[in-house]
Amino acid sequence: MEGKGDVISTQTRVVLGLAGILAMSAVDLPAADSVAPRPTSAREVAHPRVLHGDSFDDRWFWLRERENPEVLAHLAAENAYAEAMTAASRPLADQLYGELVGRLIEDDEGVPARRGDWLYFWRLSKGLQHRVWLRRPAAGGPEQTLVDLNELGRGEKFIALGAFEVSDDGKQLAYSLDRVGFRQYTLYVRDLVRNVTREESVPEVTSVAWAADGRSLFYVVEDDAKRPHRLWRWALDSGERTLVHEEGDERFGVSVERSRSGAWIFATSASHTASEVRLIDPGAPAATPRLVAPRRAGHEYYLEHSGERLFVRSNRAGGNFALFETRAADPAETGWKVVRSHDPQAMLEEVDAFARHLVLSERAGGLMRFRVLDLASGGDHLVTLPEVAYVARGAENEVFDTDRFRYHYESPKTPASVFDYRIADRTSELLKRDVIPGFDPAVWELSRIEAPAKDGVRVPLTVVHRRGLVPDGTHRALLRGYGSYGYAYPTGFDTNAVSLLERGFVLATAHVRGGGELGKAWHEQGRMAAKMNTFTDFIACAEELVRRGYTSPARLAITGGSAGGLLMGAVTNLRPDLFGVVLSYVPFVDVINTMLDTSLPLTVGEFEEWGNPAVEEQYRWMIAYSPYENLAVKAYPAMLVRTSFHDSQVMYWEPAKYVARLRSLKTDGNPLLFRINLDAGGHGGFAGRYDRLRDTAADYAFLLTTLP
């Protein structure tokens, strides 16, 4: 979580180079033919921290100095050590890479989605890292390339697409690109008639929306802490830019979007616990935005539109949200009328409004379901979804006046699929399903089980394995988890994990508190003062897998990323004896230091998820589990930690410090490897699909050669 001004300069990279970095390293790197590579050891520098009467010497604090050649040397040495330690497994990694590419659909194309007179879709071609976005006339005719990331990323180490919005008349495209991995996107506007891109671009843009005339473009930019805080209107003909709204509260971020109906632009200011929405008439883009309901503590609401009505998803009647309607001409909160009451058993996560119906995305029993509501009659029904665990979400539903709803569906044994739901006859039409070479769903068994938590709460687990598995405790297993922000961990199809399943693994997902699987209450029971539940829930899930004979502690691997990396660090400190291998990705492990630094991206807004350590009561919650401070002199499992130098969400120094401190304390001989992508990745790693598979293959090889 670092500001934009601290990205390492190209000049520094060129001057140092890898050889120069290694030459300056304070560590003693092993010779290439060394039998037992020696781990790196970062220099320790006293850095006392006194907070609420507690003293802590943060001796690796200096690793934050991203322009310091010694820091770069240490990171490069960590990569070199990891390479040396995994040299023997390289043939297996190459074999696994071949398997993963063999299941990759190298020549692929998305299902076309209609917008106006055009059909929009993407295409992947064999050998190319990235998608190409295209369109063709709905009435027939030649296709047109809109954005080719392979071409735009030529010579770049990283390229990713952010915004992609076409004007009402189909003549202009607003799109944004991240060329570093820092999730910092630059906005471009392309004339699709002349196939030229405007010379003017706008940096640090997070969301965009077109006015009706296609001559005014609304966009939001972020501040130095990567908080989207200013909404601008860009008059493309004159080039004039006008500030429409600025968000002064550092807990809140701004977003802008056009309603599916096209009748309104919604400018939403939201924190983790409250929101407010302003209406902008896309036909009068210079008019003053109209506030629907002013923010108040604890009240979240979001808008959709159809006809004369605005539909409001609001939590004012309960944490799982209820649905209200109000007149678009006078949307004051006093006039809101209940359409669907709050349901303590089902979280209303999203509302999609169309000309004659609404589709409500509800999560009940840990699973998403779609409820179709007829606007004329008020009647409703549920879309039938077939399996005991799956992922379902709305797809590209761009057409407002339609009797179909497109959705994505997949499960641990059903590859990614796209359906059109025909509302009139209540049937789902399969439009596309990924065909995975050699994969037979009949071979695999999928189940949902529960683990008793420390306080008696039943925690759901999703489990998949080869059919006929004998639960004798001899199998290797991989347990995944997250448990933060009310995010429900998806139980979708993992093409890569087939390589583990085919080698006899049990794959399990722990739906721990702090996530959103069982509604808002599930989130509340795993955040702020109750955060420890997330970690003890995960431990209970691991113990349940062992109790049922799926695996044993020595053969159980665990994995998580970002806040899931915090989960990995916390549970490993609590129960290092319960796990054989830990795979931790971009882990949020330096909790106290990060949440004390309000200049970093995300920090202030996330006081409402984790707490503010400047407040003693909240500090006490956080210090009880913060992985970095709770490392101790004892044995730990084998561990692989990955991060990226340009990650904007969890700064590279968090895992770097964590690994350095763990090395100084651990008493075991298990491998501790740290890999850092120094110049070509972000929070999600590499952008290119083949590059990502290389990393996955290497991680699987480590897992397979380390677990007994």
Residue 403 neighbours by CB distance under 10 Å = 15
Instruction: Find the length of the chain.
Output: 708
- How far apart CA 660 and CA 193 sit, in angstroms, is 55
**CATH number for the domain including 80?**
3.40.50.1820
- Give yes or no for residue 4 having a pLDDT over 80: no
Tens of pLDDT, residues 414-464: 999 999 999 999 999 999 999 999 899 999 999 999 999 999 999 999 999
Instruction: Give me the pLDDT at residue 35, please.
Output: 55
Q: Per the structure, how many domains does the chain have?
A: 1
Contact 25, 74 (CB under 8 A): yes
Residue 682 domain flag: yes
Tens of pLDDT, residues 567-587: 999 999 999 999 999 999 999
The pLDDT-based confidence of 156 (bands split at 50, 70, 90) is confident
Instruction: Give me the pLDDT at residue 13, please.
Output: 29
Residue 702 domain flag: yes
Count Cβ atoms within 10 A of the Cβ of residue 546 and give its class: 0-12 exposed, 13-18 middle, 19 or more buried. middle
Tens of pLDDT, residues 491-520: 999 999 999 999 999 999 999 999 999 999
Q: Which letter does DSSP use for residue 569 in this model?
A: H
Supply the range of the domain harboring residue 593: 4-85+462-706
Residue 620 domain flag: yes
Residue 479 domain flag: yes
DSSP string, 505-552: -EEEEE--BTBSTT-HHHHHTTSGGGTHHHHHHHHHHHHHHHHTTS--
Residue 29 domain flag: yes
β-strand pairing of 357-364 with 346-353: antiparallel
Residue 139 domain flag: no
Residue 241 domain flag: no
User: Over the chain, what is the mean pLDDT?
Assistant: 93
- Give yes or no for residue 628 having a pLDDT over 60: yes
Residue 409 domain flag: no
- Give yes or no for residue 10 having a pLDDT over 80: no
Active site residues: 562, 647, 683
What are the beta bridge partners of residue 510?
461
Tens of pLDDT, residues 374-422: 999 999 999 989 999 999 999 999 999 999 999 999 999 999 999 999 9
pTM of the predicted model over 0.85: yes
Looking at 610-614, 648-652, 677-681, which range is the least confident one?
677-681
Residue 145's alpha-carbon distances to 109, 193, 589, 657, in angstroms, are 13, 12, 43, 45
- How far apart CA 280 and CA 101 sit, in angstroms, is 47
